[in-house]
Chains A and B, each alone.
Chain A
């Protein structure tokens, strides 16, 4: 049997491949995905949550350069490599931006950095604190590609680490919404009658609660934190999926192949999972792409309101919240950069959704 068969799935994939924006966006999403997983590997500041603060150099422009003195801490922390790669290094060393330094008689004298032409405080420290009694490798010039935020943290690192939240909230929320939505929707659509009425009632009630209010209620019940936001967003989004699934199931259920399956003695579970669900996946996939985008937006909104990810965790929404008042102070890039990130990721998902919709449309 050498014949290569053209399943509908294969045909749709071929069509998707021809759509430039779809493929491009898919590439972009994969790129962001890799970044968010390996954020600490790429980030210049690989401390946990990219949380190295240097208040003296707060809110500098992109490309800002400064000398950085690192005074190692006596405390030693044991951390495995895997832990370092995925959750960041726990750093106890002190970093101080300096403007000048010199070493005299086993003593390091340095001037702390001060902006706006002011002169910083002069301080000195024993060379004893450095291993090998030398400052080589402990004073480096640091470049902040995206500048620094209002606590003097590296904005680029925060963006990279923040991608994680945005990306994973999309996955988790869509996963929860699919799980609940497909289950409830297919049961309602397939069995109909009283079960349908009951599930529709639950759907309508859930739908009538504003998302923000529900998330606030869930956060109140489960406590603040980003996992709660994941769950809350997932719980609000399943209704949409359920409605779409229900409508599709009702129309597919009338198809003769479903009657055929019943006549052949298949049980309900088999009919739903093998004969109905594979045939209604197209709209579900499309709505999932849209949900992915809206989950990212909702999370940003929640973080902006302060009930999303909690500091010191980096999140794009929270970064905008921290810096939106800098927009009128002539430093808009602090809020614009995370804003652009949200926009491009949401846009990528929307474009993938559109491309999938076109590819899965059997009519043309």
Chain B
């Protein structure tokens, strides 16, 4: 089949200041295809596509060499006026964050209509009809309601559909989708992917789909580019990349994500691949069974009984306050040494439950028994000593460390507050020990958080948490913000620490694959209620509730 490249990028190099972020990349986008670009944060995948639209920040970035040919016209030399005509009309883009890319003070319909009026010669009435038909095309339920709705009145998935409607409103030749589903739940992600695929078939436009998730991209893209540190390390059609990856980086990327079928003892990291030291020992069914028998013979460490958390929102002076149960009648038992996975979509109440266990938010009803005592009724003083036992590891490694305190002090501070060890000197040696334990070195003691990468910061967060020698650790989406290869390292670290210190984890995540890899018991939550509770492997192989089935089905499995 003869194909014409619609977009041809030749030897493109981009620098931020003196820092070369894209080194001489070349690729083509053909008519009527979906091209996937995959890579970790900082690999240059977004920068290269922003360059196509001329949306790079002008002051700090510079295209140092190369051409971007769109229909044989070089977009790097074209005037900004001409580029504006192409932008939106010929090449459209959808962004990662649907929450912030719509104007909150305009109705969704008006925003789409505005683009139509800008770029086409339709009258107001025609534009409205066109908008409604676009909404229908992107399968928005009840298009006329959405037309008059403000962005805050519709869900995240619906917002992303409105964004897609906006992007395809002028029938562009190319649609660039930059992580369009990363902020969405898996079930919604699946729908959006389906929609994009259907739209592509229908309109015969070309799509550049950018993501960090290799298995997701394999479900949608025809061809895949793998980017690593500003270079294209591998390109080819989806099937070949997934099954016969040539480059070690691609191989590492594929296997760093926990598999749903087998349970490796240690997840392979990119470094393992580069050094060729992959351990593929598997935890067998028998190993697990043996371990579980030992764990479950003891009395539970934590018992949650009929816990409820109610939020009251008052909308007006005279209207009745509206109550909303974020956690509704949840009970489970947690045994010492096990990992309880808590999974569910955003807004299902999993973080609220975590906060209630940590006593950061008081539960409105029910009991939480820790070693037999009800911690919901403790005095403030007793809670302080409890804090030492129950700890949390946060989601965002960037905001969970105080930027003005050197990491060594940050780890030492909780020790001082809880009067662990006798002198600061003793504490300091302990801190260095912990830093080394999480894979950092003594040199880092006096450095500030902004001098570290995301993965390193997450290690520091973990170090601070284990400094108090807690019994129970709540990991609230602790690896969700990390790249897949870093995620594997952190998961390995968590498991290692668990083995050597005997921690008990409550592992909260929206990512079923990660939760399944980590957990002994699995708790599936939906709208504040327990949907299913049981052994992780059993739930995965034989889910009982319809919701769990849907959730498992929505996980991108790759080819």
Contact = CB atoms under 8 A, between A and B. Distances in A.
B384 A256 contact: no
Contacts of B383: 265
Contacts of B405: 274-275, 278
Given A263-B358, A263-B360, A266-B417, A278 B391 contact: no
Contacts, number: 81
Interface string B391-414: 110111001111111100000011
B399 A1 contact: no
A76 B450 CA distance: 67
Interface string B367-402: 000000000000000011101100110111001111
A134 interface: no
B400 A264 contact: no
B394 A260 contact: yes
A279 interface: yes
B61 to A, nearest CB: 14
B267 interface: no
Contacts of A1: 442-443, 445-446
B400 A256 contact: yes
A5 B417 CA distance: 25
Nearest to B443: A3
Given A8-B448, A256-B394, A265 B387 contact: yes
A8 B449 CA distance: 10
A262 B402 contact: no
A270 B417 contact: yes
Number of chain B interface residues as a range: 35 or more
A264 B417 contact: yes
Main secondary structure of the interface of A (DSSP, over half): helix
Contacts of A3: 443, 446-447
A262 B443 contact: no
A6 B445 contact: no
Contact of B451 (A6, A9, A264): A6
B402 A279 contact: yes
Contacts of B247: none
Contacts of B358: 263
Contact of A256 (B387, B395, B468): B395
Contact of A5 (B360, B395, B446): B446
B396 A259 contact: no
Contacts of B413: 264, 266, 274
Nearest to B387: A265
Interface string A1-39: 101011111000000000000000000000000000000
A279 B417 contact: no
B387 A263 contact: yes
Interface residues of A, number: 24
B399 A257 contact: yes
Interface string B409-449: 00001100110000000000000000000000011011110
Nearest to A257: B402
Interface in A217-260: 255-257, 259-260
Interface in A59-98: none
A266 B402 CA distance: 14
A7 B403 CA distance: 9
A263 B448 contact: no
Nearest to B397: A256
B400 A260 contact: yes
Given A1-B443, A5-B446, A5-B447, A263 B391 contact: yes
Nearest to B417: A266
Contacts of A257: 399-402
Contacts of A263: 358, 360, 387, 391-392
B459 interface: no
A33 B464 CA distance: 45
Contacts of A5: 406, 446-448, 451
A255 B394 CA distance: 11
Contacts of B396: 256
Interface string B106-123: 000000000000000000
B499 to A, nearest CB: 24
Contacts of A270: 417
A259 B360 contact: yes
A261 to B, nearest CB: 8
A8 B443 contact: no
B404 A264 contact: no
19 contacts: A1-B443, A3-B446, A5-B446, A5-B448, A8-B404, A256-B400, A257-B400, A259-B394, A260-B394, A260-B464, A264-B414, A264-B468, A265-B384, A265-B387, A266-B414, A274-B402, A274-B413, A275-B402, A278-B402
Given A7-B406, A265-B388, 4 more contacts: A256-B400, A257-B401, A259-B392, A278-B402
